[in-house]
Amino acid sequence: MYNKIGSGNNIMNGEASVKVPEGKLVHVKTAYGERFTEVKIRGDFFIEPPEALHLIEDRIKGMRADSKKELIEDSIREIEATLIGFSASDIAEAVKESVEDSK
């Protein structure tokens, strides 16, 4: 599976999966304090162009860990990418769950 992606003082690690209606899986692993320091998104989905996945991860890094789902979702939508089998909302939901489930 994954190794811990963040360590140090006040760094929490979270992990969550969201099963989307079409049967695809979005899995997110995060490290965060007040802000996200690491974000890894994996799953059985497609994204075009493929490098956009890293742009999405980088976009979420630095955001406040207590950001509202809608803010995360809007931030993802700003990236020019075609998400196939999942949505910006699915990613945002998994990111929020990764924080909530680690508390």
**Residue 4 lies inside a defined structural domain of this protein:** no
| Nearest residue to 34 (alpha-carbon basis) of 66, 60, 56, 4 | 66
For residue 3, pLDDT beyond 70:
no
Computed over every residue of the chain, the mean pLDDT equals 91
- Average pLDDT for 25-49: 96
Query: What pLDDT sits at residue 2?
Result: 41
- Residue 80's domain comprises 12-100
Query: What pLDDT sits at residue 1?
Result: 35
Considering its fold, how many domains does the chain have in total?
1
For residue 75, pLDDT beyond 60:
yes
Query: What pLDDT sits at residue 4?
Result: 53
**Residue 3 lies inside a defined structural domain of this protein:** no
For residue 42, pLDDT beyond 80:
yes
For position 44, which CATH number holds? 3.30.390.50
**Residue 2 lies inside a defined structural domain of this protein:** no
DSSP of 18-80? EE-TTS-EEEEEEEESSBEEEEEEEES-EEESTTHHHHHHHHHTTSBTT--HHHHHHHHHTS-
Question: pLDDT tens across 11-24, in order?
Answer: 999 999 999 987 79
